[in-house]
Each structure stands twice: as structure tokens, then as C-alpha cells.
Amino acid sequence: MNQDANKPDFKQLDIIIVSYNTAEYTKRAIQSAYDETTKTSFNIIVVDNNSPDNSVEVIRDHFPDVLLIESKKNLGFAGGVNLGAKVASSEYILLLNPDTLILDGAIDKIMHFSSQKSDAGIWGGVTLNNDLTLNPNNARAKLSFKTLLFSALGLSKVFRSSCFFNHDNYGCWNRNSIREVDVITGCFFLTTRSLWQKLNGFDDTFFMYAEEADYCTRAIAIGHQPIVTPSARLVHHGGVSEANFSGKMIKLLKGKAELINKHTKPWKQPLFKKLLLMHVMNKVLSYNVLVLLKRDKKSLLMEWRTIFQQRHAWLKGYR
């Protein structure tokens, strides 16, 4: 297959990777998929979001069988995935972040799991940090008054192992069991192409972050229930395409605000957004205290101040 092909060869699975300025990470992710996947026939589709580094050249030179789509502008994660999905032809679509490493046949295992739990429509695995400790960001609960309140008050962080105070990240779940969840994160996100088409893919209003939460919410509304298997494990470094902390957090908060716009009753929206703002205000106050105590947190204080100063932009969501 070459990059000028209109459609990838028909296989069981199309793996879509959206690349932006992550040449070496993307190279390792692709290689790990090839090395660790022996029972599933698959294509890899890479959408490069107009990277300023040498991502296009690295992918083209090292992986001639990858279908490489070069976007002329940065479409964000949702837009990049949608562009890749347009050429997908397989029964299943797997979204894979460029900053991941497939471990121990994880793609084969999640495909097997999907055949056992076929009604779910969306399947996920377990993410690990680089040192192979648990990274609990593989799945989360939907936004609610409780999750937003406990996050705003810092209780979800203080009691991170509690499923009551940290329900957002399912704090008491050790990820060693199969579990139905509200949202599977987009770093390792398997869905059927038929469901993707029924839902019209991602809503690319979400430039980056929360697009998978929106997709899962819409899937649940028509009778599908996302589910996670502990057998499929991978490393997820996280955030490598966004080096600027405040820039990443502003996008994340804007995505959450747009979820509130789209999926929360109008009378609840002002309250939920005030809780988002309270979360940021408490971060600013906390880091102010740490700076006064000479805990060397000045850089993070400045980042959170920047986020707070731009609150009027991100509180609107993408409206």
C-alpha cells in the first residue's frame, strides 16, 4: 500500500493514529503495533496534522505499508480521526495515540474481548506509565455535579483511592477486572465501523479532549455500553504533543465546557461551569500558598494564573 491509495486493503481492523509533532513517539507506537499484533489482520492509517517536525518523513521512510494522510492544517484530534476514518474499510476501528506502546499482544486481546462482549460497541484496555505502574486515565465517569464538586474542592485528589470522592476516575477500581464505564479515553479506543457511521464519528467541534466522552455519551443513548478489559495493556506517556501545560489545560477545560453545553440540561449549565471555574481558582490559591511556604511551585502558579485569566474563553466551550 502506498500513501496515494484511496482505500486501505480490507482487514479485520483499521488502526488510526493522529500525529502532530511526535515523530519518534509515533515511530515507536507503530513499531509496537506491528511487533505485538500477530492474530489480527490490520491496516495502519496515520493522519499527520501538518506537523512542523519531520513526522511525515519518518513515517514514510520507516513504514511504507502505512497509509499516510497529510493534512494541510492542524485539524485537532477529532478532525484528524474523522479524516482517517473516511478511508477505513475494516469492521473495526482502533484509535491509538502516537505516545503509546502496545504491550503483550494488547490489540489481539482487545479484539478477542470485543467478540465476547459484542454488544458494547466500544472497548478499552488499561494504560500504564512508562515505569509500568498504573495510569488510571484509561476510563472515567461522565461529568456530574458530584464529580465536578469533588474535583473543585480537591477531594478527588486527596481521596484518590475512593470511588465516592474520586468517582470521576473510578478511584477504588484497581483495573484488574472487567468493568463497564461511561467514557473510554481516546488513546486506545476500539469501536465498530458500523457504530462509527451511525454516530457520524467524532463531533469535530471538539478540537482536542472530550470528543471521546461525547461519542460514548451518544453511544450509550442508543443502547451501547463502553467496557474495559484488564487483559489489554499498553504504555501511555500522555500529552507529548502539547508541551505547554496551560495550553493543554485550557483545551481540556474548553472540552469539558463543551460537553456541558451539549449534554447538560440548560438550567444546570451555569452551576457546572462555576464548578469548573472553582477548580481553577482553588489551584491558583493552593499554589499561592505553596509559593509562600517556599515549596518552589512558582512556575505552576504562573501556569494556573494564565488558565484563570483566560477563563472567559474556555468557559464558553467551542460555542
Question: Domains plus CATH for the chain?
Answer: 13-138+175-236 (3.90.550.10), 245-314 (no CATH)
Distance CA 102, CA 120 (A): 22
Question: In the chain, which ranges are E strands?
Answer: 13-19, 42-48, 67-70, 92-96, 100-102, 122-128, 134-135, 139-140, 179-180, 183-184, 188-192, 227-236
Cross-strand partners of 18: 47
| Per-residue pLDDT reduced to its tens digit, 12-60 | 999 999 999 999 999 999 999 999 999 999 999 999 999 999 999 999 9
**Strand pairing of 183-184 and 188-192?**
unpaired
pLDDT at 79 over 60: yes
| Per-residue pLDDT reduced to its tens digit, 91-121 | 999 999 999 999 999 999 999 999 999 999 9
Residue type, 122: I
Give phi and psi for 179, each to the nearest 5: -150, 140
Look up residue 62 and give its three cell numbers. Answer: 520507516
Question: In 154-269, which ranges are E strands?
Answer: 179-180, 183-184, 188-192, 227-236
Whole-prediction pTM: 0.93
